[in-house]
Every structure is written in C-alpha cells, then in structure tokens.
C-alpha cells in the first residue's frame, strides 16, 4: 500500500480543510476506515446487547463482540482470546490491576514504577499502596530520557512485589527493555505489568514472548473509537484476581447469602461493555495486522530522523529524549527557549499543525528533566515528509514571533 493509499484509509484527511498536519497521535490516533465502518455498522444496523440475548440480532452482536476479542488477541500475539479483557482503555486496565493486586501486598512491600510513567501508571498504584502501607519506588531515567536500567538493582529488592512500567514513553519515545526488566523482576518473585498504550499503534506484538504478566492498551490510540481498550492478563494470574467492578455479566450465581463469580475474562467485564467501540477496535486490529510493518517501521524511523535533524538545527530548541532513532519511536518532545508550549502550539495551529503542549500527564519525568512542560510531535503511519517539513518551517516562523 502506497503512502497516499494508506492515508486515504483515514477519513479525516479528506474531511479537514488544508493545510492539515496531524502530529498528536500519542494523545489519540485518527480512526481508520475499517474501524469507523465497523462502529457505524453495529450502531446503525446491528445494535443489541451482548452475551445473554437468544434472539438473532443479539446473537449476531455477541458473535461480533467475540470476534473483536479474537482479533485483538491475534494482534497482541495471544493464543487464548479468553485472556483478553475488553475495557474502556489503558487507564481502566491499570486501575483494575492495581485494585486486584493490592490484596497481595503487606505493609512495607514495594511497587516499582519508573520516572517515565504516565500518571495512569502512577496514581492507581499510589492509591493501592496507601490502602495497605506499601512503598512506591521508581526506576530513574538517564539524561537522554531512557530508563536507567544500570541502576535497577538499586530500586529492586526482595520486597518488590509488582513492577509496572511503560513499554514506550509518551514523552521521550524511548522503548523500554521489557525483557531485562522481566528477568530482574522474576529473580525477586515480582509480577510485571506493562502500559502498552504508546507501543500498540506501531505494529503487532507478541506479549507472551515479552514475559510480562499483563499488558494494557487503548483503542483510540490504535486508530479505533474512543471508549474501548483491552487488557491481557496471563491466565494463572487472572484466575487469582478478584473482580474490579460488580454487577451484571460478571457472576455465576447471586443470592443475598453471597455471590460466585464468572471465570475470566467475564469476571472483569461487569455491565454492558462498550460494544460498538470494542467491535471497532477489533476491526482496526485486523486491518492493521495485514500491513507491511517492516516497511512502516522504516518509514517512521526515517521521518523521526528527519524531525530530529531539523530540530537540532534550530538553536533555541532542546530535544527531550534520545537524539537518534535506535530504541525509540516517533514521539518527539522538545523545549524552546523562553517560549511556553501552549503559546507555541496555538500559533502553530494557525498553520494547520496539530501538536501537544504541556506535561503530557508525566509530571515526575518533567521534574526530573528540570522542565515544567514541553511541546510534543508524535508520528503515526499516516504521517509523511510534508508533515515534518511543515512543522520545521512553522516552528522557525513561530519562534521568530514569540522569542
């Protein structure tokens, strides 16, 4: 599929007036045609509740919902689709895990996070730790914005019970060495959770081979609808965890004397799920799985290199994160001397450039880097050289106006 053909699979690019350069995919990806059609098809012509209905329409909806679970599992490299829980997104999945795993913790036990984490992978664990008197520790970062795994032994101990880290930083674009983290965690008997929100838009995975125990993702970052996501949990762990929410569809039998719960994944899917968005997520995963990801990875690396080189040539700009393309994806944050990111993003918007300015829900990382906020450009499979060139030209123009 050529770049123009690929871009045509995302309806927004034909719908928006030009110039239009979308460089905020780390916040939310644009919906692909396959997902949009699946969502509209369900809501307009196949809408019914799932799991319990016995009439034809309900049965068709349930089959579509189950197919979506299988499509997501295939994209993640999961052999048993029953290990995939359909959620509202990464935040929900991480909260579910923090709630379920807190029962394993005793006062003084440790939860190891990292300085790269999004707030969604910090706050739930802080809440859990506060309930039982556990201790939060964090893997530090290098000056380049990578996890400093050479210092892992300093923060990992025999009291560590849970390690929860991002697969890819939403600020620096750095890819975490999950294998090394898993090996160290296993040596002390800790479970490993991975926030995959920023990794999943960049191609299919094999989460089982990663060695972690759980992997969370959001559908809106995987070019599907908002409101749906997925959480993979190894079956042995899932079967041990208590429910996160109570209600319909997650029970075996309810009486006032007590309730018995359904097996995973249904135990964790209380109430009516986000059916249409989940079906859209499955459709996006199935469509994405058929693309040439080696070529797409090479194209993204070339665009990232073009952007990094261009930013390095602007004296007022400081890139936050790796300055090369090895071990990083196309999430590039930067600071501009004496210019606030919000002012910069608003001015760039006048030229059709969509970027993100702020702390990106990663305040501990910005504190570690000595910054209040940064401007972020994040790439996806629909970006091309014209987006990079427009950003670099616009940035120099904006700096002249704002500095």
* Strand partners for 112: 137, 163
Nearest to 343 by CA among 330, 333, 358: 358
361 tagged catalytic:
yes
- The catalytically annotated residue of 32, 212, 345, 361 is 361
Asked if residues 226 and 248 have their Cβ atoms less than 8 Å apart, the reply is: no
**What are the residues whose beta carbons fall under 8 Å from the beta carbon of 277, sequence distance 6 or more?**
39, 219, 224, 225, 226, 227, 228
Nearest in space to 225 (alpha carbons), one of 28, 23, 395: 28
Within 10 angstroms of residue 67's Cβ, the number of other Cβ atoms is 15
- State the Cα–Cα distance between residues 84 and 68, nearest whole angstrom: 10
Beta bridge partners of 1: none
Identify the burial level of 107 via C-beta atoms within 10 angstroms of its C-beta, where 0-12 means exposed, 13-18 middle and 19 or more buried.
exposed
Q: How far apart are CA 56 and CA 73, in angstroms?
A: 26
62-to-2, 218, 219, 220 alpha-carbon distances in Å: 35, 21, 19, 22
Is the four-CA dihedral 249, 251, 252, 255 of positive or negative sign? negative
CA-nearest of 383, 368, 83 to 239 is: 83
Tokens in use for 82?
């029953």
Active site residues: 361
């Amino acid at each position: 599929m050529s770049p123009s053909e690929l871009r045509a699979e995302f309806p927004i690019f034909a719908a928006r007036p030009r110039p239009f350069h979308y460089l905020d995919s780390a916040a939310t990806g644009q919906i692909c045609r396959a997902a949009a059609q699946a969502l509209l098809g369900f809501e307009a012509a196949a809408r019914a509740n799932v799991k319990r209905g016995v009439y034809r329409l309900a049965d068709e909806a349930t089959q579509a919902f189950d197919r979506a679970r299988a499509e997501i599992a295939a994209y993640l490299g999961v052999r048993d689709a029953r290990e995939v829980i359909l959620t509202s997104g990464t935040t929900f999945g991480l909260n579910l895990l923090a709630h379920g795993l807190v029962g394993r913790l005793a006062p003084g036990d440790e939860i190891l996070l990292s300085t790269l984490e999004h707030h969604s992978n910090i706050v739930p664990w802080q809440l859990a730790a506060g309930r039982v008197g556990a201790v939060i520790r964090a893997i530090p970062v290098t000056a380049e914005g990578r996890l400093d795994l050479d210092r892992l032994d300093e923060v990992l101990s025999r009291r560590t019970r849970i390690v929860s880290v991002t697969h890819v930083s939403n600020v620096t674009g750095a890819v975490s060495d999950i294998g090394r983290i898993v090996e160290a965690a296993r040596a002390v008997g800790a479970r490993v959770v991975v926030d995959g929100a920023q990794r999943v838009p960049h191609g299919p995975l094999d989460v089982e081979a990663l060695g972690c125990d759980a992997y969370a993702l959001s559908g809106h970052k995987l070019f599907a609808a908002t409101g749906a996501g997925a959480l993979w949990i190894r079956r042995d762990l899932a079967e041990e965890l208590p429910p996160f929410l109570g209600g319909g569809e997650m029970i075996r039998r309810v009486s006032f004397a007590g309730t018995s719960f359904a097996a995973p994944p249904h135990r964790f899917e209380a109430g009516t799920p986000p059916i249409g968005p989940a079906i859209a997520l499955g459709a996006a995963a199935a469509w994405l799985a058929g693309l040439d990801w080696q070529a797409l990875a090479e194209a993204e690396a070339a665009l990232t290199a073009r952007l990094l080189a261009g930013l390095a040539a602007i004296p007022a700009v400081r890139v936050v994160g790796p300055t090369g393309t090895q071990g990083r994806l196309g999430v590039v944050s930067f600071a501009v001397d004496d210019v606030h990111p919000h002012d910069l993003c608003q001015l760039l918007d006048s030229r059709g450039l969509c970027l993100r300015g702020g702390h990106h829900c990663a305040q501990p990382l910005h504190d570690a880097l000595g910054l209040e906020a940064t401007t972020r450009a994040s790439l996806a499979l629909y970006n091309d050289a014209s987006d990079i060139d427009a950003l670099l030209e616009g940035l120099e123009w904006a700096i002249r106006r704002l500095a």
